[in-house]
Chain A
């Protein structure tokens, strides 16, 4: 499917809302598109979808294992099934269905994890998904995507609808500004987007953390004369190894940023590739540490763990200082 570059100008909405509006556009011309929900059409911004396409929405009730199993059956019979459920429940409670019924059986279900990461904030750890990248990366035959902005979200949904393999996409519910890429390369799974270029440090970020990474890069330039690259590594698997290697060759230090445990996500995926290829830039993984997650809103949790312009800039400064002291 052709990517639509002009959609880059869509801005300011929650990625979840863009997911819903894009899906409505697609469903109007494709009766095989079916949304499967677990009492989650409200939190998935899918109430309008259900009103417009009542024959293309399947309500399962609060039963995530069944949600994924039914979606696998629908997909095996030719339906473009979008299984929509909070990321925390979808990828933990229904993990065996994702592993067996979707990935292993190669049923091209589109697994949509809504309100991902710590989007649910003060609702607490039951509602957080800080494990999804880790567990899903370890499952063969599954593409894992976390779009950063409205443009990436719209393009990812269009591509997912036509994708003939299992895929997981996760979205947050915070309003996201547009992040314009430095080039007009069409959005593609497995190809990171370069949002900003600089030769000192690189931020490899994903999902809703790309924006604070960009703010950190701007702050580093203004306050410290440090030039930072920012990449939206929207596809966690398959990872864009080519872009990772070229960025590591260009920049002195690498910082990965994700709304996920520091274990098993984007950071460790990057570290694994770099180390096994003898690329040993100073390197830092920023995410949610392995502890009882602090309570608070998404913004407060981000602030607490340094997923902010200041926090990320400080990490960059620390790595640059290390490089300078070693010279």
Chain B
């Protein structure tokens, strides 16, 4: 069993690289399956962040159904709550709940709604309104520091939610209290519901802004599983500083007709589009090298 950088007592065995690449494709197929079934969901953003979630849950964090009530588990807070379908398929795969539960996605009285809620096993906080994940995560990371605990806190933000002022308030707190047990990840897919993020409200240069707030920042290809692993393995990037990973991603990644297309922010595929997407992903599966 590989020791993680944190408490290490309750970590999962790491998967081989091939396992991760195949999981990413399976996760994409499941995201599409349940969004298609529900006729609702945030398709583009779920496909852009799924590789990050894959690496976090299967390589980085010591979070699993067996230790989920342990105070020493790593925490994941999804600030961009609308991409909940990505989180659902990963949690189902980790065994937090039967995957068949996702057949109730967005159905009457289902806990599996369009944003994360703690009614679903494996979810830490109710999110959905943007700009909330970073302050909460800073609070959890601060609690760890106060109690001298070793667990880490990860939070995923969308690039489109960065104009929310609460993010910058929390960015100050995280550096003020030297929360090097906090890692924020920006799913930088560069599109939001209205159009290109740079045209809606330009937040670049994101790295310079966070660095000036006292963070340590790294860029990574958010679809390169090995690069993601290497990046997260290096946490904290600087002792005494919170870490920011700017994951450069493609909205709709993996389905060519969805990629970099605003309408797939919350577009739902029709039957033909759904089957075309599955075919493309099945073909991608065939191209994964055996030794990857």
Contacts and interface: CB of A to CB of B under 8 A. Distances in A.
Interface string B219-243: 0000000000000000000000000
B16 interface: no
A327 B182 CA distance: 71
B3 interface: no
Given A66-B169, A73-B142, A105 B135 contact: no
A66 B141 contact: no
Interface string A24-37: 00000000001000
Nearest to A55: B146
B118 A78 contact: no
B126 A100 contact: yes
Given A34-B146, A69-B132, A74 B140 contact: yes
A69 B170 contact: yes
Contact residues on A (Cβ < 8 Å of other chain), bracket: 20 to 34
Interface in A59-76: 60-61, 63, 65-66, 68-76
B118 A66 contact: no
B185 interface: no
Given A61-B172, A63-B169, A69 B135 contact: yes
Contact of A78 (B71, B142, B166): B71
Contact of A96 (B71, B129, B139, B176): B129
Contacts of B125: 72, 76, 101, 105, 107
A89 to B, nearest CB: 13
Q: Which of B137, B142, B170, B172 has the most CB of A within 10 A?
A: B142
Given A70-B173, A77-B143, A104 B126 contact: yes
Nearest to A73: B139
Nearest to A36: B139
A106 interface: yes
Contacts, number: 101
A34 B146 CA distance: 10
B118 A70 contact: no
Given A76-B140, A77-B144, A69 B126 contact: no
Contacts of A119: none
A75 B136 CA distance: 10
B130 to A, nearest CB: 10
Contacts of A61: 172-173, 176
Q: Which of A61, A69, A74 has the most CB of B within 10 A?
A: A69
Interface string A167-179: 0000000000000
Contacts of A55: 146
B146 to A, nearest CB: 7
A70 B126 contact: no
A101 B136 contact: yes
Interface of A: 34, 55, 58, 60-61, 63, 65-66, 68-79, 81, 96-97, 100-101, 104-107
Closest 6 CB pairs of A and B: A73-B139, A69-B135, A77-B143, A66-B169, A70-B139, A63-B169
22 contacts: A61-B173, A61-B176, A65-B165, A68-B135, A69-B138, A69-B139, A70-B135, A70-B136, A70-B139, A72-B136, A73-B140, A76-B136, A77-B71, A77-B144, A77-B147, A96-B129, A96-B132, A97-B132, A100-B129, A101-B125, A101-B132, A106-B118
